[in-house]
């Protein structure tokens, strides 16, 4: 049987990833403007971006594993089939791209002449520097980030439509708010 709302682990992972990915996107855009002089300043911010990207990559894996092994709420009643299919497609593509972004970022960085550092600790070099591979994976990383922002925009528009137009309680399924528990505690007072 499907639950009425997402469990707390899924809620925490959802909002942590949402905030983390948006922050990383803004951070990535900002970093491009950092001058290369004085030496080391740009590298510090890029390594911080990479470190948080690795953490987010593992959170995506955790979320995907949790999603596969736990039941989620069924579609809301009266949801047209096309909306359900479109939502599932958008969610599936977001998972693929959330996984692709840290992988392509890591690969792009791995092919650079500089070591990949995880919060200051250099990770082992997997292969030799290759400017063509670095450029390829870096471009794929950037394109994936912009694709995710487009999918997130669609996701947010759908949520707004449910909240403002349909007023069907969709958002409460992904929050700490539990209307059933709240109404039962209010009725006992």
Which pLDDT tens digit goes with each residue over 56-112?
999 999 999 999 999 988 888 888 999 999 999 999 999 999 999 999 999 999 999
Q: Which residues contact 104 (CB under 8 A, 6 or more apart)?
A: 137, 138, 140, 141, 144
Where are the domains positioned within the chain? 8-175
Question: Global pTM?
Answer: 0.86
Q: What would the pLDDT profile of 39-65 be if each residue is shown by its tens digit?
A: 889 999 999 999 999 999 999 999 999
Q: Take residue 152 and report the two structure tokens written for it.
A: 């997130």
Distance (Å, whole) CA 102 – CA 43: 18
């Amino acid at each position: 049987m499907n639950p009425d709302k997402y469990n707390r682990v899924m809620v925490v992972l959802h909002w942590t990833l949402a905030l983390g990915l948006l922050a990383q996107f803004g951070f990535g855009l900002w970093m491009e403007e950092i001058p290369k002089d004085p030496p080391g300043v740009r590298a510090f911010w890029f390594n911080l971006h990479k470190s948080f990207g690795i953490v987010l990559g593992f959170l995506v894996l955790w979320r995907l594993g949790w999603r596969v092994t736990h039941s989620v709420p069924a579609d809301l009643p009266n949801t047209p089939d096309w909306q359900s299919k479109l939502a599932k497609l958008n969610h599936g593509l977001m998972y693929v791209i959330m996984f692709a972004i840290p992988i392509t970022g890591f690969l792009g960085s791995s092919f650079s002449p500089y070591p990949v550092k995880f919060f200051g600790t250099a990770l082992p070099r997997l292969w030799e520097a290759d400017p063509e591979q670095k450029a390829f994976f870096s471009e794929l990383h950037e394109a994936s980030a912009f694709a995710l922002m487009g999918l997130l925009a669609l996701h947010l528009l759908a949520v707004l439509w449910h909240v403002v137009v349909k007023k069907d309680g969709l958002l409460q399924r992904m929050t700490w708010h539990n209307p059933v528990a709240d109404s039962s505690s209010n009725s006992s007072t």
